[in-house]
Amino acid sequence: MIKNLINCFAFFFAYFFLATGISYGEKLETETIYAKSNSFSIEINNEEKVSQKSMLSFEGKSYFPLMEIVHSFQGNVITSGDQLSITTPPMLRKQSLYGLDKLFINEIKLPPLTFWEEVEAKAAIIVDTTTGSVMFSKNSSERLYPASTTKIMTALLALELGDLNEDVTVSSEIENIPYDSSKAHIRPGDRLTLEQLLYALMLPSGNDAAVAIAVHIAGSEEAFVELMNQKAIELGATNTQFTNPHGYHDPDQYTTAEDLAKIGYAATKINGFTPLISTARYRATFTREDGEESIRNWKSTNQHLQPNSPLYTPEITGGKTGFTTPARYTLVSFANKDGYDYISVILYGQPNERYLDAGKLFERAFAEREKYNKKYLDKLLIFPSTLKITIGNEQLSTENSLIEFNNDLYITEDVVRQIFEQINRATVHAKASSDIGLPMIKDLQFHRARMFIPIHFLYGWFTFKQEIDVLETETVSIISK
């Protein structure tokens, strides 16, 4: 009887796959990209299987052909409307779990994208952060003073450790900043949100706001500086040392153009940072110590962001300026063009020349990137996909992670990781049970018995009515969807 049931279900599933087929639904607007193609292989049970289709790399992401990944573990793909379901068997005989370390990419080594340009500043660097390549460097490892670009690290830690909506009462410690500091003109006892203080930090470059944030986050300015130095080491900024959270000159506070690029890149990965560096003007309404309402209008010191400035550059998405007499004029800038992100750092520059240097580096980087892509990468026509992927009963997080190319669906590494995690979870649960009952009729119960049924016919189509350790119970009840 069991044999007949197995044959019956095998026929049903085969018919279903043939009847449904694969359909990716309505296509969205097409996009032309330049991508690098690499072959790859997957190791399964100590055997390496070479893919039939190449993976694609562009705009800092790697995309793998979905069917190649799914077929590597004998899985199947079914689409219906905007849903794509992956069915897969727990790999009971597999000795090791799946992981991205089982994907082997035959990397094609392309020439580095670099150029030389004349800049006035003593030190400079520009990094294509999408690919991680340093495109230009001048004295980028030389220790120099950061001035107020220090505040990028202060903002990074505040966003990482604080809550933008939390209320902050300004500490009296702000009165200890040097008299000639740049200020946001807040007072002890003022009550602002952390978000408002961060705009006070980054737009008018308020040293008073920096101290208020430091005390709020760490309890004291000194404790916050310790966090800054710990974070610098964590980010690989090993030629950087902080002594205060705002950048007022101290001979023991130094950095390099290379380190500032690392810190700036890390900051862009934190939600809430980009608005701080891209906003030209901000109006804050808050409460004074005496309960009176106060209003501050803060304007960014960054001329790249001011539409009425002759230095305004639309491709530059944000930045932070700095100045002290020993540091001269400093500038960290961020830009985006054609799907690529860039960071430039200017240290020991001149008032307007720092903007011109940064603008020149960005302009050259954009042009060189375009030439490089046309020469070394494949020009492809792709369709973004909004399909929702499920495996078992879990929907995967696939926002901006799916594309269609040549009628094949491609997924990013994070989706591959999610798929592997689901398979591993099912495999671990299956291996933990030596006896598995798989009734095929609703509410039918089996007493302890060993059934050798190809579990991949059923996994993903049936769900456990309840989680039961079948090693410690006499019956298992499984209910169909």
Q: Identify the active-site residue in 51, 57, 62, 148.
A: 148
Q: Identify the active-site residue in 57, 205, 300, 344.
A: 205
Closest to 357 (Cα-Cα) out of 191, 136, 143, 180:
136
Q: Active site includes 151?
A: yes
- Distance between CA atoms of 234 and 262, rounded to whole angstroms? 11
Closest to 28 (Cα-Cα) out of 406, 389, 409, 404:
404
**Bridge partners for 431 per DSSP:** none
Q: Where are the beta strands (DSSP E) in 202-350?
A: 281-287, 293-299, 316-324, 328-337, 340-349
Q: Where are the beta strands (DSSP E) in 338-464?
A: 340-349, 378-384, 388-391, 394-395, 402-405, 408-412, 445-447, 462-464
Closest to 35 (Cα-Cα) out of 394, 468, 387, 372:
372
- Amino acid in position 202: M
Burial 212-250 (b: 16+ CB within 10 A, else e): bbbbbbbeebeebbebbeebbeebebebbbbbbbbbbbe
Kindly compute the dihedral angle of the four CA atoms of residues 260, 262, 263, 264, in this order, to the nearest 10 degrees. 80
Q: Identify the active-site residue in 36, 151, 262, 320.
A: 151
How is the beta sheet containing 133-138 ordered, strand by strand? 133-138, 123-128, 340-349, 328-337, 316-324
- Distance between CA atoms of 315 and 357, rounded to whole angstroms? 15
- In contact, 351 and 309? CB cutoff 8 Å: no
Kindly compute the dihedral angle of the four CA atoms of residues 76, 79, 85, 88, in this order, to the nearest 10 degrees. -10
Active site residues: 148, 151, 205
